[in-house]
Amino acid sequence: MTAEDYAGQVKTELTDAWLPLIYSDRILKMRTRSYTFGPLPRNPRVEIQHTLLGVELKVGSRRLLCPDLATARYLSVFARLGCAEVAVPYDITRVSLLADELESSWHRMLLLANHKAAERAETFRARIRGLLIAKLRGEISAAGAGTAVPEFRQSTKQRAGDKR
């Protein structure tokens, strides 16, 4: 079997937990704002750091200030993938749950890839991981990052006869 075959098996086994599927079906359906990382290094080291100024996401040598830990966890998944821009939910109460789902999908994908090719060489397993990451990045960038500013509806729900 080739590395592409192994990568296809991992994607098939993940079904609903496939990261781009979570992104397009759950995240892009809600009100979001786009977040741009800018140029990211290849295979960046991603860390979440707690500083006196708050929570920072360190991607390579760059430090990105995040409003809270949930947002840092959410963005760290996409930074590991090397996505240039992503959609971030505007409702901060949903970010933590989505970060949990994205992180578990990410780790499950890596575990499945390593398990499927356990008897193969490390370089072959690294190739499978690289193929999966490229596939994730491509599908997420194809889905888009949403609008820069979320849409605000100006209408209110008032009855027609109610005049105040």
| Burial (CB count within 10 angstroms: exposed 0-12, middle 13-18, buried 19+), residue 89 | buried
User: What residue has token string 């729900």?
Assistant: 157
> What are the residue boundaries of the structural domains of the chain, listed by start?
3-143
- 87-140 tens-digit pLDDT: 999 888 999 999 999 999 999 999 999 998 888 999 999 999 999 999 999 999
pLDDT digits (tens, 9 = 90+) for 48-83: 999 998 999 999 889 999 999 999 999 999 999 999
